[in-house]
Amino acid sequence: DAKTTQPTSMDCAEGRAANLPCNHSTISGNEYVYWYRQIHSQGPQYIIHGLKNNETNEMASLIITEDRKSSTLILPHATLRDTAVYYCIARMEYGNKLVFGAGTILRVKS
């Protein structure tokens, strides 16, 4: 699985969009980008994933650059409950494990 790089931490004002970047410059053509988050020692929670096209679901949007070397997770209207560690993972669709890096600590502030 390709290595991903994320900022250590970010702050976001409540109600504003949170944009979390992820660099995956060595991603291969058949590796997907997955995002998970972990709220204070709870089990990680799947958010979204994509291959080439931008994706949106009820939780977030995922924007993947055309060259696929980076992506951005967007939480459109961040709330205090979105404060968590966010993990960006590049993996093959049928891989047998998730490899979690250090992630980005997102702090949403009122």
Partner 1 sequence: EAQVTQNPRYLITVTGKKLTVTCSQNMNHEYMSWYRQDPGLGLRQIYYSMNVEVTDKGDVPEGYKVSRKEKRNFPLILESPSPNQTSLYFCASSLWEARGTQYFGPGTRLTVL
- Which residue stretch of 10-18, 53-61, 70-78, 92-100 sits at the interface with partner 1 (rule: CB under 8 A)? 92-100
Q: Does 32 contact partner 1 by CB under 8 A?
A: yes
Q: Are 24 and 69 in contact (CB under 8 A)?
A: yes
Per the CB < 8 A criterion, the answer to whether 67 and 56 are in contact is: no
User: Is 39 a residue that touches partner 1 (CB under 8 A)?
Assistant: no
CB 4 within 8 A of CB 91: no
Nearest distance, CB of residue 106 and partner 1, angstroms: 17
Smaller CB separation from partner 1, 17 or 98: 98
Task: Give the three-class secondary structure for 28.
Answer: coil
101 binds partner 1 per the rule CB under 8 A = yes
63 contributes a contact to partner 1 by CB under 8 A: no
107 binds partner 1 (CB under 8 A): no
DSSP 17: P
The beta strands (E) that lie in 16-83 are given as 18-23, 31-38, 45-50, 55-56, 61-64, 70-75
Footprint of partner 1 on this chain (CB under 8 A)? 32, 34, 41-46, 49, 89, 91, 93-103
